[in-house]
Amino acid sequence: MPISLAHRLFPVLQLTRMALVFTAIADSAAALLLLAHARQGSLGRLPVAHVVVVALISVGLYGFGMSLNDIIDRRRDSQLAAHRPLPSGRIGVGTAHWICAGLGVLALLAGAIYSRWTGQWMSFALVVGTGLLIAFYDFAGKYLVALGLLTLGLIRFFHAVIPAPTLPLLWHPLFLLNHVTLLSVIAYAWEQKRPALTRGHWWGVLGGLFVVNGMLIAFVWWRRGQPLLGPNPTAQDVMNTAFAALRIEPGLLFPIVAAAGFATLAILMRRRYGPAREAGQALMLYGLLWLIVYDAAFVLGYIGPAPAMALFALLPLAYGSVQLMRWWGRLMTLSQRPAFKRAGES
pLDDT digits (tens, 9 = 90+) for 242-275: 457 888 889 999 999 999 999 999 999 888 876 7
Mean pLDDT, to the nearest integer, of 93-110?
A: 97
Residue 100, pLDDT above cutoff 80: yes
What pLDDT score was predicted for residue 54? Answer: 98
The pLDDT score that the predictor gives to residue 276 is 79
| Exposed / middle / buried, residue 96 (Cβ in 10 Å: 0-12, 13-18, 19+) | buried
**Domain assignment present for 202:** yes
Q: Is residue 242 part of a domain?
A: yes
Note whether residue 336 is domain-resident: no
Q: Does the residue 87 lie in any domain?
A: yes
Q: Is residue 26 part of a domain?
A: yes
Nearest by Cα to 306 from 24, 43, 116: 43
Residue 238 pLDDT: 41
- Let me know the angle formed at the C-alpha of 27 by 103 and 303, rounded to the nearest 5 degrees: 145
How much is the pLDDT for 273?
A: 78
Q: Average pLDDT of 2-25?
A: 85
Percent of the chain residues topping a pLDDT of 90: 68
Q: Are 129 and 1 in contact (CB under 8 A)?
A: no
Note whether residue 345 is domain-resident. no
Rounded Cα distance, 106 and 274, in Å:
42
What gap in Å lies between CA 250 and CA 233, rounded to an integer? 28
Does position 41 have pLDDT exceeding 80, yes or no?
A: no
Sequence letter at residue 99: I
CA distances from 298 to 128, 170, 196, 248 (A): 26, 11, 35, 12
| Residues forming beta bridges with residue 241, ordered by sequence position | 227
Structural domain tally of the chain?
1
For 192, the domain range is 3-330
3-state secondary structure string across 155-182: HHHHHHHCCCCCCCCCHHHHHHHHHHHH
Sorting pLDDT into bands at 50, 70 and 90, what band is 345? very low
Using alpha carbons, select from 147, 8, 125, 127 the residue that is nearest to residue 65: 127
Residue positions counted in the chain: 346
Is residue 269 within 8 Å of 286, Cβ to Cβ?
Answer: yes
- Mind listing the pLDDT tens digit for each residue in 300-344? 999 999 999 999 999 999 999 999 988 887 777 666 554 444 544
Tens of pLDDT, residue by residue over 201-251, are 999 999 999 999 999 999 888 876 554 444 555 544 544 454 578 888 899
pLDDT (0 to 100) of residue 232: 53
CA distances from 314 to 98, 136, 168, 304 (A): 28, 29, 23, 17
Residue 14: count other Cβ atoms within 10 Å of its Cβ: 24
Let me know if residue 112 belongs to a domain: yes
82 burial via Cβ count (<10 Å: 0-12, 13-18, 19+): exposed
Cα separation of 147 and 205, whole Å? 7
Q: What is the pTM of this model?
A: 0.90
- In-domain check, residue 342: no
